């Protein structure tokens, strides 16, 4: 039997393209954890294929690049993140 989600919409898929030394990346990931937002962290410093994918999606080489349900945010833009996640 399928589990019922108490009227809560399913969370959009969140991917954070980041590097370990990026303070804005770490702030974004902390923000998601504090709000219970599940996300996939992709370390582009260790994964050249992911780095290429990030540039293809965003047109940018800087991090963080945040993908929320297919919408791209370059940098940690909290108001935009909140709007896309309905927070």
Backbone angles phi, psi at 4, to 5 degrees: -85, 135
Listed by start position, the domains of the chain span: 18-85
**Average pLDDT rounded to a whole number, residues 8-23:** 91
pLDDT one-digit tens code per residue, 29-78? 999 999 999 999 999 999 999 999 999 999 999 999 999 999 999 999 99
Cβ atoms of residues 15 and 28 within 8 Å: no
Cβ atoms of residues 69 and 80 within 8 Å: no
Question: Could you tell me which residues come within 8 angstroms of residue 38 by beta carbon, excluding any fewer than 6 positions away?
Answer: 11, 14, 32
Q: How confident is the model at residue 34, as a pLDDT?
A: 97
Planar angle of CA 29, 55, 33, nearest 5 degrees: 10
- State the Cα–Cα distance between residues 53 and 62, nearest whole angstrom: 13
pTM of this prediction?
A: 0.87
Let me know if domain 18-85 sits in CATH 3.40.30.10.
yes
């Amino acid at each position: 039997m399928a589990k019922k989600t108490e009227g809560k919409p399913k969370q959009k898929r969140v991917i954070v393209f980041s590097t370990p030394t990026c303070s804005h990346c770490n702030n974004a990931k902390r923000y998601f954890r504090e709000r219970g937002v599940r996300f996939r962290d992709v370390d582009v410093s260790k994964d050249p294929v992911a780095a290429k994918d990030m540039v293809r999606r965003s047109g940018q080489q800087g991090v963080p690049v945040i993908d929320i349900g297919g919408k791209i945010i370059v940098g940690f833009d909290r108001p935009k993140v909140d709007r896309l996640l309905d927070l």
